[in-house]
């Protein structure tokens, strides 16, 4: 049976270790280990000297963490520690329509915003009947800027028509331009906030409103000088459903509209969102890295089941994950275990394929609408806290919505949105 490379690697960690091990690093680490052994016998003395505690942390935490995380693999990773990240300036860019934000919002709050409570939230979203669901953001630790706008067609100039393809984009080239504008608009908001406050962000986390997170965003995803994206769902380019990078790499990664003319002069044509994203990074010499991430994109779209070679697998929201941005919905899984292997081995690797190693993936039969009773399925999978948030939005009244939005507006340093009554009226009847 064909297996994905990562599952093959994991089945034999010892041979992986011997093939991947960097022997120069081992020679380097032997003296460090002598130190650890020395200090583990003398630790009480060391603890007495509190001024030495940072030295102790340096010696203990770093090597031990590396041993634990899999036998010296990925050692050359100069990611900051959680403490360092908590002391740094982080912008979280949240883009897209509110759609099922009653399901995704609470997880974004918990797994990203509250995980890094020093981070500033930037929301960029088109107004629609679901926008009222953003009232949940009043629970965010810090809100820098909210921009909710009336969607309007954007001009399609020559560059876009040369470079982009309408294939597989639900709303053609216009849809792509709208999406690029949504992402780059968030960068514009961040820059304006930086100038107003005389600050520069160390990191920008770009994430989507429709992402459901079943685990926290961990510190090793912050890699200086590299742009980090999830593996899989790469559609001939790079998965563009999430990204994190320092300010420099993020500026290039988020400049999705303004770099299109550069791609044009470099001779690119027929690009979809993912291949344009990859071209954008490579032509600007930004190196990137992939790491599996614990989120999926909650979608109401219907897809054939089982997915064909270029079909789209839809994960059950209850999958253990990490799902790295695969499409998902709450369902009773139609396919688990060996069935997943049999289905996924036919799905094109460079297209809609996603990493299913370690039993991370369970599939829904998503050829129809969400099944009856999906609410119960969601509540059971997501747990009481997220279930309560879902019910809160389900039962929200117009007046509660207005009250919550007033609270959110007070939190936000920058506010650029239609009148609150308009946002609440679109989704809720007065009564």
Ligand X SMILES: *[C@@H]1O[C@H](CO)[C@@H](O)[C@H](O)[C@H]1NC(C)=O
Q: Which residues bind ligand X (CB under 6 A)?
A: 157-159, 198, 257-258, 261, 284-285
Minimal distance in Å, beta carbon 89 to ligand X? 11
Q: Cα Rg for the chain, rounded, in angstroms? A: 23
Q: Where are the alpha helices (DSSP H) in 308-383?
A: 338-344, 374-382
78 or 198: whose CB is closer to ligand X? 198
Minimal distance in Å, beta carbon 388 to ligand X? 42
Beta strand 287-290 with 211-213 is unpaired
Task: State the Cα torsion 391-392-394-396 to the nearest 10°.
Answer: 160
Minimal distance in Å, beta carbon 259 to ligand X? 9
9 or 188: whose CB is closer to ligand X? 188
Minimal distance in Å, beta carbon 267 to ligand X? 15
62 or 154: whose CB is closer to ligand X? 154
44 or 267: whose CB is closer to ligand X? 267
List C-alpha distances in Å: 204 to 121, 215, 317: 10, 19, 27
202 or 341: whose CB is closer to ligand X? 202
258 or 269: whose CB is closer to ligand X? 258
**For residues 309 and 118, what is the distance between their CA atoms, to the nearest angstrom?**
43
**For residues 238 and 133, what is the distance between their CA atoms, to the nearest angstrom?**
30
216 DSSP 8-state letter: P
Under DSSP, is residue 171 helix (H, G, I), strand (E, B) or coil?
coil
Q: Would you call the peptide bond into 182 cis, given omega within 30 degrees of 0 as the criterion?
A: no
218 or 284: whose CB is closer to ligand X? 284
145 or 286: whose CB is closer to ligand X? 286
Minimal distance in Å, beta carbon 287 to ligand X? 11
Minimal distance in Å, beta carbon 164 to ligand X? 12
Containing 45, the helix (H) or strand (E) segment is helix 23-48
166 or 428: whose CB is closer to ligand X? 166
Neighbours of 80 (CB within 10 A): 17
Instruction: Give the angle 32-33-37 at the CA atoms, nearest 5°.
Output: 120
What secondary structure does DSSP assign to 393-416, as a single string? HHT--HHHHHHHHHHHHHH-SEEE
Minimal distance in Å, beta carbon 260 to ligand X? 7
Tokens of 5: 């490379």
Minimal distance in Å, beta carbon 251 to ligand X? 12
Containing 161, the helix (H) or strand (E) segment is helix 158-163
78 or 285: whose CB is closer to ligand X? 285
Q: Where are the beta strands (DSSP E) in 97-153?
A: 120-126, 143-149
Minimal distance in Å, beta carbon 279 to ligand X? 12
Minimal distance in Å, beta carbon 200 to ligand X? 9
Beta strand 143-149 with 243-246 is unpaired
Burial grade of 112 (CB within 10 A; 0-12, 13-18, 19 or more): buried
**For residues 313 and 346, what is the distance between their CA atoms, to the nearest angstrom?**
11
334 DSSP 8-state letter: S
Beta bridge partners of 298: 328
């Amino acid at each position: 049976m064909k297996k994905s490379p990562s599952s093959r690697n994991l089945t034999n960690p010892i041979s992986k270790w011997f093939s991947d091990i960097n022997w120069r690093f081992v020679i380097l680490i032997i003296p460090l280990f002598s130190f650890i052994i020395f200090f583990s016998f003398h630790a009480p003395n060391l603890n007495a000297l509190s001024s030495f505690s940072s030295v102790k942390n340096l010696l203990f935490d770093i090597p031990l963490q590396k041993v634990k995380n899999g036998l010296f693999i990925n050692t050359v990773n100069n990611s900051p520690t959680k403490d360092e990240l908590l002391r740094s300036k982080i912008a979280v860019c949240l883009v897209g329509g509110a759609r099922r934000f009653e399901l995704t919002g609470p997880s974004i709050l918990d797994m990203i915003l509250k995980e890094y409570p020093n981070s500033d939230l930037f929301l960029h979203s088109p107004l629609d009947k679901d926008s009222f669901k953003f009232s949940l953001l009043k629970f965010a630790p810090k809100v820098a800027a909210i921009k909710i706008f009336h969607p309007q067609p954007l001009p399609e100039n020559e560059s876009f028509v040369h470079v982009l393809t309408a294939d597989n984009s639900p709303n053609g080239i216009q849809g792509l331009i709208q999406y690029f504008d949504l992402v780059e608009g968030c960068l514009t908001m961040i820059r304006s906030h930086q100038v107003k406050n005389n600050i520069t962000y160390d990191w920008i986390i770009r994430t989507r409103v429709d992402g459901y997170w079943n685990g926290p965003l961990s510190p090793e995803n912050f890699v200086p000088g590299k742009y980090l994206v999830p593996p899989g769902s790469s559609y001939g380019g790079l998965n563009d459903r999430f990204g994190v990078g320092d300010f420099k790499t993020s500026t290039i990664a988020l400049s999705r509209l303004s770099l299109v003319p550069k791609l044009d002069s470099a001779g690119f044509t027929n690009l979809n969102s993912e291949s344009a994203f990859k071209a954008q990074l490579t032509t600007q010499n930004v190196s990137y890295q992939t790491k599996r991430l614990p989120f999926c994109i909650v979608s109401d779209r219907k897809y054939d089941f089982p997915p064909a070679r270029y079909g789209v697998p839809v994960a059950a929201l209850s999958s253990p994950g990490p799902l790295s941005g695969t499409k998902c919905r709450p369902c009773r899984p139609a396919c688990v275990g060996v069935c997943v292997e049999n289905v996924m081995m036919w799905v094109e690797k460079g297209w809609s394929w996603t990493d299913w190693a370690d039993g991370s993936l369970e599939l829904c039969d998503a050829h129809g609408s969400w099944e009856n009773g999906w609410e119960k399925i969601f509540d059971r999978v997501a747990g009481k806290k997220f279930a309560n948030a879902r019910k809160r939005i389900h039962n929200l009244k117009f007046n509660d919505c207005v009250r919550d939005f007033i609270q959110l507006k007070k939190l936000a340093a920058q506010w650029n949105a239609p009148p609150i009554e308009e946002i609440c009226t679109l989704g809720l009847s007065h009564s």
